[in-house]
């Protein structure tokens, strides 16, 4: 699989792999981890680690991924 749209960026606390087509991203502690997830995607390898599985899923999605908004009911409604 072509992975030219996956870019590694340095951030304050580690690294990030960004899919420039969709804007999806995943956080990694090391640069090595970034290159491992890119290799897994390129070679079609399914990782055993749950965090890496989720990272691969996010980066290979066709559409932008968004989390559902969390509202703490103890604090009341958001205004």
Residue 79 has pLDDT above 60, yes or no: no
Given a cut of 60, is residue 74 above it in pLDDT?
Answer: yes
Q: Strand order of the sheet with strand 14-19?
A: 6-11, 14-19, 25-28
Q: What is the DSSP string of 19-73?
A: ETTT--EEEESSHHHHHHHHHHHHHT---SSHHHHHHHHHHH-SS---PPPP--T
Task: Give 15's strand partners.
Answer: 10, 28
Neighbours of 30 (CB within 10 A): 10
Reported pTM: 0.76
Q: Does the pLDDT of residue 75 top 70, yes or no?
A: no
Q: What is the pLDDT, as a whole number, of residue 71?
A: 74
Distance between terminal CA atoms of the chain?
Answer: 45
d(CA 38, CA 56): 8
pLDDT tens column, 7-47? 999 999 999 999 999 889 999 999 999 999 999 999 999 99
Query: Is residue 69 over pLDDT 90?
Result: no
């Amino acid at each position: 699989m072509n992975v030219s749209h996956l870019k590694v960026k340095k951030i304050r606390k580690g690294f990030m792999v960004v899919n420039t087509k969709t804007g999806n991203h995943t956080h990694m502690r090391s640069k090595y981890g970034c290159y491992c997830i890119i290799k897994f995607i390129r070679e079609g390898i399914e990782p055993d680690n749950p965090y890496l599985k989720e990272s691969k899923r996010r980066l290979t999605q066709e559409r932008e991924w968004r989390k559902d908004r969390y509202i703490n009911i103890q604090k009341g409604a958001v205004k």
